Amino acid sequence: MLKKRSRGKSKWQQDLGLERIKILFDRADFEFKKHPEHSHRYVQLARKIAMRYNIRMPKSLKRKFCKKCYSYLVPGVNCRVRINKAKQALTITCLECGNIMRYPYRRGET
């Protein structure tokens, strides 16, 4: 028998949580130009939802916020993105707190 019901959260709750996370990131993106501080708040809310429902942040969203200070990150505005071809890694520097994050990537994937 499958015994993988961690914390008793059902699939549909996770799906719903994921939808809410995506909406929060959309809003963060939308508000960033006018109210970056609102964007940071949305990221924190999204993270809370992820933890509560035991949801893994989608890859595409993981790179949009700082793992240390949870700021919403926009390349060229408050973060710096560098591609290290030798190591096949993406380096993102958060300009809010100086945290450096590294993400491995495969060829053909940016």
Summarize as ranges the residues that interact with Zn ion (CB under 5 A).
66, 68-69, 94, 96-97, 99
Would you say 15 and 58 are in contact if contact means Cβ atoms under 8 Å apart?
no
Q: Are strands 89-94 and 100-104 parallel, antiparallel or unpaired?
A: antiparallel
Question: Minimum Å distance from CB 66 to Zn ion?
Answer: 3
The residue among 18 and 61 lying less far from Zn ion, judged by its C-beta, is 61
The residue among 55 and 79 lying less far from Zn ion, judged by its C-beta, is 79
Element (H, E) at 103: strand 100-104
The residue among 31 and 96 lying less far from Zn ion, judged by its C-beta, is 96
